[in-house]
Homo-oligomer: A and B are copies of this chain.
Amino acid sequence: MNVTIKDVAKRANVAPSTVSRVIADSPRISEKTKRKVREAMKELGYHPNFIARSLANQSSQVIGIVMPSSTDQALQNPFFPEVIRGISKAAHEKKYALQMSTGEKESEIYEGVIEMLQGRRVDGVILLYSRTNDKLMKYLQKNRFPFVVIGKPHQMAEQITHVDNDNYRAAKEATQYLVELGHKRIAFVGGNISYLVTVDRLLGYEAALKEAGLPYRQEYIMHEEFLKEGGQEAMKELLSLREPPTALVVADDLMALGVLNTLDEMNVRVPEDISIVSFNNTLLAELSRPPLTSVDIHIFQLGYEAAKSLIEKIANPNEPVKRIIIPHQLMKRFSCDDDQMK
């Protein structure tokens, strides 16, 4: 079989426990035997068995990543690779490994996450989404498993460590930007309302309208289940209104791409006929035509901070609850204009 701590011990003429201590770099071992043992490890090509270590330690040094259910087509969104990149960076730095939830339906994911936690495969999890009345979140809280949410928890946000943007302010500022450009008829195209991020951005949008003394019109609020088809429907609806909007706040770059696509088909020009501010500032915003003015929410950092917080929480379960707000920034490109106001 594989070379174990015992083989190394024999080779170095020490006890297995000594080898174990050398691996942990215990200060109670003399430099001389450390050298001797390390040499033996090299010679034999020893690699520690994480599984055995996990069992002895009662800790796996693995973080679980919980994706939203892939029936929400959300996964197509460049948001996820980018958060995961952030998580991966922090995990790598702290020598944690990464495990992902599998399953497509919400219930499958729920079961899977419980198994990976109860089965001790992971020491804690990061939820890459936050929605209203999430069963999993309640379970985690009740069973006191270490977890961190990316986004704002629906309930008891004060008791749950989470990493989020100030989506309310971000949306408010984005809307204000359009107001400053002279727009008075601004519509909101958001994602599924059960996601908290949608709610916050909608509220920010509303607040900006109110402050600007603009009327809030129900018919200007759109919630796409998804991209292409939904986007088409929504835009048709918006443009067929007696007073169609001259500007859109779109809650996501990918969604905005769908909107752009639909507008193009309908021969509506951006930004000449209609202006768009979008969110996330993914690569798509840069690559779309026209390049999208988009709110950079620093996705990578969301992931990075989430992983760091989780690792702290795992190390110290009494770590106080944290709320980390990642700053945002409006990236101006070419999807906004005041021409249609002139």
Contacts and interface: CB of A to CB of B under 8 A. Distances in A.
A66 to B, nearest CB: 12
A108 interface: yes
Contact of A98 (B75, B100, B228, B283): B100
Given A50-B120, A70-B88, 14 more contacts: A2-B118, A47-B115, A47-B118, A62-B99, A75-B81, A81-B81, A88-B100, A97-B99, A97-B102, A99-B99, A227-B287, A254-B287, A261-B291, A288-B288
B289 A121 contact: no
B121 A108 contact: no
A329 interface: no
Contacts of A91: 102
A227 B50 contact: no
Contacts of A289: 260-261, 264, 289
A92 interface: yes
Interface stretch (A52-60, A157-165, A188-196, A200-208): A52-60
Interface in A116-131: 116, 118-121
A206 B236 CA distance: 44
A80 interface: yes
Nearest to A88: B102
Interface of A: 2, 47-52, 54-55, 60, 62, 70, 75-76, 78, 80-82, 84-85, 88-89, 91-92, 96-100, 102-104, 108, 112, 114-116, 118-121, 227-228, 254, 257-258, 260-261, 264, 282-284, 286-291
A119 B50 contact: yes
12 contacts: A47-B115, A48-B119, A50-B119, A51-B54, A51-B119, A76-B282, A89-B104, A97-B121, A99-B99, A254-B283, A254-B287, A264-B289
A300 to B, nearest CB: 10
Contact of A50 (B78, B121, B290): B121
Contacts of A82: 75-76
Contacts of A288: 257, 261, 288
B70 A75 contact: no
B287 A257 contact: yes
B118 A228 contact: no
B51 A121 contact: yes
A142 B29 CA distance: 35
Contacts of A119: 47-51
Residue among A51, A85, A99, A290 with the highest chain B CB neighbour number at 10 A: A51
